[in-house]
Amino acid sequence: MNKANLFLILGLAGGAVLGLLASGAVTGSGSGASRSAATQGMDAAHHDHDRVHPVAPGAVPAVQIALQSEGGCTYNMQLTLENFRFAPERVNGPHTDGEGHAHLYADGVKLARVYSEWFHFSAPIGSKAIEITLNSNDHATLAHEGNPITATALLTDC
Tens digits of pLDDT across the chain (158 residues):
555 544 444 444 444 433 433 333 322 222 233 323 333 443 443 445 578 888 888 889 999 999 999 999 999 999 999 999 999 999 999 999 999 999 999 999 999 999 999 999 999 999 999 999 999 999 999 999 999 999 999 998 88
Q: Please name the amino acid found at residue 58.
A: G
The whole-angstrom separation of Cα 95 and Cα 148 is: 16
Provide the whole-model pTM.
0.69
